């Protein structure tokens, strides 16, 4: 999978609903970034890795694995997620951002985040209106324990490629506007996380820097 991607695009392997063994197998094949969407499942996998390290007597086993969180995160689940992840891709409310900032202050950790805009056609999805994103970034200094790294988005669930194109173009335009209107924002704001198994080629044409691939790596999920 990795050798199909341009060098500028990072591959995030979405391991949700797959056993730890599947992660080990992908790790052995060279994959390093894995993403989970449920707090419980993420912390269970982190614990499983700890157990394996003890069993093998190898504290450094898979030590360069990196976890991202990509699901809806409730403010009462922060401690199951934030100690373990290098990036929370799915920040979808100011309330969550404020809770994460407080957690960061209490635990001395600056948390890297992507902001998730709401895609027009999907009324049920959480996410920010574009104006809310610009508002947050205009007062980013208030969030001392948050490092804003970019935008994460999902296209409408459809086979209609024109709709997917339009969604990715819309998400990309939010990212571009931030880069244009917030020149003082850290240069670390540089990630556009768009593209999943079925639409990543379209996403790459729209400037994706990070694709989140589940089923194409691990096979179908059994929910
Ligand atoms: C599950 C999930 C993916 C991966 O989906 P696939 O279609 O299996 O590649 C990507 N992003 C998010 C936010 C997800 O929840």
- Burial of residue 188 (CB within 10 Å: 0-12, 13-18, 19+) is exposed
135-143: list long-range contacts, CB under 8 Å, 24+ apart.
136/94, 136/97, 137/178, 137/182, 137/185, 138/182, 140/182, 140/185, 142/101, 143/97, 143/98, 143/101
Nearest residue by C-alpha to atom 7 in ligand 1: 197
- pLDDT, tens digit, 9 for 90 and up, residues 20-78: 999 999 999 999 999 999 999 999 999 999 999 999 999 999 999 999 999 999 999 99
Q: What pLDDT band is residue 187 in, cutting at 50, 70 and 90?
A: confident
Q: What pLDDT band is residue 1 in, cutting at 50, 70 and 90?
A: confident
Q: Which of 15, 18, 37 to mutate to test the pocket of ligand 1 (most atoms within 8 A of CB)?
A: 37
Q: How far apart are the first and last CA of the chain?
A: 24
Which residues surround ligand 1 with Cβ inside 6 Å?
14, 16, 37, 70, 154, 196-198, 212-216
Nearest residue by C-alpha to atom 11 in ligand 1: 212
Task: Please state the pTM of the whole predicted model.
Answer: 0.96
- pLDDT, tens digit, 9 for 90 and up, residues 128-155: 999 999 999 999 999 999 999 999 999 9
């Amino acid at each position: 999978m990795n050798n199909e991607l341009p060098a500028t695009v990072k591959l995030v392997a979405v391991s949700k609903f797959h056993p730890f063994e599947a992660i080990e197998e992908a790790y052995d094949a060279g994959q390093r970034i894995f993403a989970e969407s449920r707090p419980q499942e993420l912390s269970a996998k982190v614990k499983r890795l700890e157990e394996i390290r003890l069993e093998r007597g190898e504290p450094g086993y898979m030590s360069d694995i990196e976890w991202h969180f990509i699901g809806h995160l409730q403010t009462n689940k922060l401690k199951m997620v934030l100690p373990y992840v290098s990036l929370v891709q799915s920040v979808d409310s100011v309330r969550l951002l404020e809770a994460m900032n407080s957690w960061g202050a209490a635990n001395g950790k600056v948390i890297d985040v992507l902001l998730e805009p709401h895609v027009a056609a999907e009324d049920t999805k959480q996410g920010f209106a574009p104006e809310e994103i610009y508002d947050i970034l205009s007062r980013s200094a208030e969030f001392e324990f948050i490092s804003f790294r970019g935008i994460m988005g999902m296209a409408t669930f459809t086979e209609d490629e024109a709709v997917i194109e339009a969604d990715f173009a819309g998400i990309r335009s939010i990212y571009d506007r931030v880069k244009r209107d917030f020149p003082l924002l850290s240069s670390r704001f540089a990630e556009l996380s768009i593209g999943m198994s079925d639409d990543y080629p379209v996403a790459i044409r729209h400037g994706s820097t990070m694709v989140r691939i589940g089923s194409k790596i691990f096979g179908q999920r059994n929910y």
